Amino acid sequence: MSNYTARQVHLISRPVGMPIQENFKLVEVELAAPQDGEVLVKNHYMSVDPYMRGRMRAEAVYAQPYGLNEVMYGAAVGEVIESADSSLQAGDIVLNGAAWQDKFVAKASAVNKLEPFDPKQISLYLGTLGMPGLTAYVGLTKYGEPKQGETVFVSAASGAVGANVCQIAKLKGCRVIGSVGSDEKAQWLQDECGVDATINYKTCGDLTSALLQAAPDGVDVYFENVGGEHLQAALTAMNPFGRIAACGMIASYNNAEPQPGPNNLMLIVGKKIRINGFIVSDHADMRPQFLEEMVAWIKQGKIKSRETLADGIDNAVDAFLGLFGGKNFGKMIVKL
Amino acid sequence: MSNYTARQVHLISRPVGMPIQENFKLVEVELAAPQDGEVLVKNHYMSVDPYMRGRMRAEAVYAQPYGLNEVMYGAAVGEVIESADSSLQAGDIVLNGAAWQDKFVAKASAVNKLEPFDPKQISLYLGTLGMPGLTAYVGLTKYGEPKQGETVFVSAASGAVGANVCQIAKLKGCRVIGSVGSDEKAQWLQDECGVDATINYKTCGDLTSALLQAAPDGVDVYFENVGGEHLQAALTAMNPFGRIAACGMIASYNNAEPQPGPNNLMLIVGKKIRINGFIVSDHADMRPQFLEEMVAWIKQGKIKSRETLADGIDNAVDAFLGLFGGKNFGKMIVKL
């Protein structure tokens, strides 16, 4: 019989506008031993992602909201400590949806055994090889449909999703322009990821002018992570029959009051633009193909990953809040 | 040798905001006789359409702007008066792009001979059987992709495009909600076109609430003719995987200064909405199929058309300006 204590982060009040530490509480709970068919897992890494802000609202659009005074959920990579199911054994590495806690007991069928391509890089399954990487892959290839020689504009370009979009677009033979919030991120995108041009949206002045200058041949594909001014600039710079893969609009996630949108939506008609909103969970069918291509690209050094690691569950909330100030450089991960 | 005088409407200054009479001038010109390969055409009907407002700007997005101190262009149906080409003879009815004038000389190859399904209804080739009808057909079937039992919301629903969208959607087995600017138009849509529910956006109060009430099962397809508040309401009412066919955004055509867009664009992501801007001229390949289906529907009484006729080229500018005040009921046409 196990005798474990788990530490969990609970949502104790719903944020209004930007979340604050007081919306969350670190709670210790005793875990019962795994029953027949269950496993006890110790999480090594957990993910914090912008989408989690949406789950903190009372009404969620495409998924259940987080419950109050309950542990939140999200992606994590852990290791089986005790198993009461024949499909898993102690030492197995598992991808799971039970983040925001350092240990948990669950049905064995609720976790996914990983065969990591490199045991030293299991955190990649939360980023480049996980949901953010698949998001980049699906959004760019299925909805952006970039053709060789076209120009791809990526917002939040050094983020967990954006950096993968940039690099996949380069592999597809495109000219890539990335928008980021610091010169250091811009440098990394250009030096390490082969991005052709970068815009620091915080210092560039008028974003539309900056984009028009960076994209003399116009923009064919816009990968939308931000919304607001970025969308407005992209619409102005886009070529006829341009495609927008709308993955997120982080600029608006923490607005207590809705903010007006771009003033040039009419261009959607005249330029015959296609916009596809999408949620990665609808595209699980593309995961095997994604993993095969992505692992190959990583091994060949064609896809670089950058992570920002926070240390311990005590810092998980801080890591999450940092996403909205652009404190992450690449994928933000909490090492448990 | 002919000795004809043509009356033409010229654009003499570019409108700022809402166009005014003083932006236009009626001009008389002498026509030379048709040379070899040319025809002289007398127009019986000309079209005024919202898209023409875009052509009055100095920079047009998808077509050449109208020149200053030149006759404008647009669709018209006329009759050959003199022919110097073997392909056409006097009395032939021709669809042409030489509106805003009562007579003109052109290459025979620049006009299209019609075989009208009913010689008394040749004006239909400017509306239900013309560009607006094809716009409705392409936008709804190719981009809206309505499925039996789904709910379709149409803005500017009694207009030249909208009324056809409503009726084709009914033929596809959908529940149809139309937004209009008068109770008389609403009544016609319900009584004659079989539309299930209507909203008078001028008197309904909050448009989003009115739409949510009219669409208890949500909106699956939104046919966008208006923009602004209509788009915002549609996004709020839409179901997951909803489709928006973006045909026009008339609410913004006369803004001297760009106006902010909807405040809920983030819903595009969460609801996985697809938006397709489109211009009918890219879809000429669908015209034969469209004409075949549409003529059959008209003959069977399944598609009704309503026209507002203005009398004479002296009233053409008034007719055009009336489009922006909703003065047209169905297709606005000038009888020459």
**Mean pLDDT value across chain A:** 95
- Which residue of chain B comes nearest to A231, CA vs CA? B265
B159–A contact, CB cutoff 8 A: no
Taking only the tens of pLDDT, chain B with its 336 residues reads 457 999 999 999 999 999 999 999 999 999 999 999 999 999 999 999 999 999 999 886 667 899 999 999 999 999 999 999 999 999 999 999 999 999 999 999 999 999 999 999 999 999 999 999 999 999 999 999 999 999 999 999 999 999 999 999 999 999 999 999 999 999 999 999 999 999 999 999 999 999 999 999 999 999 999 999 999 999 999 999 999 999 998 888 778 788 889 999 999 999 999 999 999 999 999 999 999 999 999 999 999 999 999 999 999 999 999 999 888 888 999 999
| Pairing of β A38-47 and β A76-83 | antiparallel
Say whether B277 and A258 touch across the interface (CB within 8 A): no
Q: Which residues of B touch A249 (CB under 8 A)?
A: 265-266, 269
In chain A the first and final C-alpha atoms are separated, in Å, by 23
A249–B contact, CB cutoff 8 A: yes
As its CATH architecture, domain B132-281 has 3-Layer(aba) Sandwich (3.40)
Say whether A276 and B274 touch across the interface (CB within 8 A): yes
Q: What is the pLDDT of residue B89?
A: 97
- Which residue of chain B comes nearest to A245, CA vs CA? B269
Q: How confident is the model at residue A219 (pLDDT cuts 50, 70, 90)?
A: very high
B248–A contact, CB cutoff 8 A: yes
Q: What is the mean pLDDT of residues A34-51?
A: 96
Of A252, A272, A279, the CB nearest to B282: A272
CATH number for the domain formed by residue range(s) B4-127+305-335: 3.90.180.10
Say whether B272 and A266 touch across the interface (CB within 8 A): no
Say whether A272 and B279 touch across the interface (CB within 8 A): yes
A262–B contact, CB cutoff 8 A: yes
Residue A119 buriedness (CB in 10 A; 0-12 / 13-18 / 19+): exposed
Q: Which amino acid is at B326?
A: G
Phi, psi angle pair for A188, to nearest 5°: -60, -45
- Same fold yes or no, B4-127+305-335 and B132-281: no
Q: What is the mean pLDDT of residues A142-156?
A: 98
Say whether A274 and B276 touch across the interface (CB within 8 A): yes
CB A278 within 8 A of CB B272: yes
- Which residue of chain A comes nearest to B276, CA vs CA? A274
CA A326, chain centre distance (Å) = 13
Say whether A279 and B272 touch across the interface (CB within 8 A): yes
Say whether A277 and B261 touch across the interface (CB within 8 A): no
Alpha helices in chain B (DSSP H): 51-55, 131-138, 162-171, 183-193, 207-214, 229-237, 267-270, 287-299, 316-322
What pLDDT, in 10s, does the model give residues A66-112? 999 999 999 999 999 999 999 999 999 999 999 999 999 999 999 99
What count of Cα atoms within 13 Å lies in the side-chain half-sphere of residue B220? 15
3-state secondary structure of B286: helix
Q: Which residues of A touch B264 (CB under 8 A)?
A: 258, 261
CATH classification (class only), A4-127+306-335: alpha beta
- Distance, in Å, from the CA atom of B330 to the CA atom of A203, rounded to the nearest integer, reads 51
Number of C-beta neighbours around residue A277 at 10 A: 28
- Whether domain A134-281 has CATH 1.25.40.10: the reply is no
Instruction: Measure in Å the smallest separation between the Cα of A41 and chain B Cα atoms.
Output: 31
The domain ranges of chain A are 4-127+306-335, 134-281
Check pLDDT > 80 for residue A61.
no
A277–B contact, CB cutoff 8 A: yes
Q: Which residues of B touch A270 (CB under 8 A)?
A: 54, 61-62, 277, 279
**Best mutation target, B265, B282, B283, to test chain A (most A CBs within 10 A):** B265
B242–A contact, CB cutoff 8 A: no
What pLDDT, in 10s, does the model give residues A241-293? 999 999 998 888 778 788 889 999 999 999 999 999 999 999 999 999 999 99
Say whether A268 and B246 touch across the interface (CB within 8 A): yes
Q: What is the pLDDT of residue A2?
A: 52
For the whole model, what pTM was predicted? 0.93
Say whether B272 and A271 touch across the interface (CB within 8 A): no
- What percent of chain A lies above the pLDDT cut of 70? 99
